Amino acid sequence: MEKPSNILLKLSRSLFADTAAQEKFIHAVTNPQAFNPAILWVQPKPTENPFEIEIPVAWQPEFVDRLALESQPGKHSLHQAGHYYCLDFSSIFAASTLLTIRQPIKLILDLCAAPGGKSIFAWKTLNPELLLCNEVIGKRMGMLISNLRRCQINPSAAANVDSKILAEKMPQTANLVIVDAPCTGQSLLAKGDKAPGCFHNVTINSNANRQKRILANSAKIVAPQGYLAYMTCTYSTA
């Protein structure tokens, strides 16, 4: 276990008034645990599931399976054939808010789409007339386009445009705008990954300002009676 830094201790106190809750949070961040892999079925599930699955939780969509810890769904032939998409269960939880949206949906815009998991979740859930997946970071476009093609997500299109330009070119058009906004990456620590400086105030503030700009532009794109779904994987309330 790594000794928690002072800025992590400060964050825990800002999130939880109870000392026990603060300690649980710090323990979770500094002691990474194995997470069950999850898959989102794009094609109908096979009669015999090739994986050992966990008992579904109450909110879990029927087209999602949470698998046993030792499972390696990314290496299975069904994955290569585009029958399902591998996605963190925490991302499934965040995207499950989309299950409450009334259909039909004409246009879905995922503004920060790569690698495409939440886009595919939205497509599977809402069956839009068009799914537009945007990614402003050019080097991430390849993985996004590859996943959309592999999973045969149609009709869909991919774009590499800044949110300000989209707000100017297509105001009040999308029935659902998804903003899985880029952030500090603090939650990566709980998976055992590295995220240097993720708790530093400079990192937090720069990401918060970037998110505010993206969200302000995103709100202009939402059609009347439409939805803006904001998601991010940071613990900082800013």
Q: Are the beta carbons of 39 and 71 closer than 8 angstroms? A: no
In the chain, alpha helices (H): 6-15, 19-30, 77-80, 89-95, 117-126, 141-150, 163-169, 201-221
Report cis status (omega within 30 of 0) of the bond before 115: yes
Please give the order of strands across the beta sheet that includes 84-87: 64-66, 38-41, 84-87
Active site residues: 233
Residue with tokens 């201790």: 9
Q: Are the beta carbons of 118 and 61 closer than 8 angstroms? A: no
- Strand 64-66 relative to strand 38-41, pairing: antiparallel
Residue 205 backbone phi and psi in degrees, to 5: -65, -40
Question: In this structure, how many other beta carbons lie within 10 angstroms of the beta carbon of residue 37?
Answer: 20
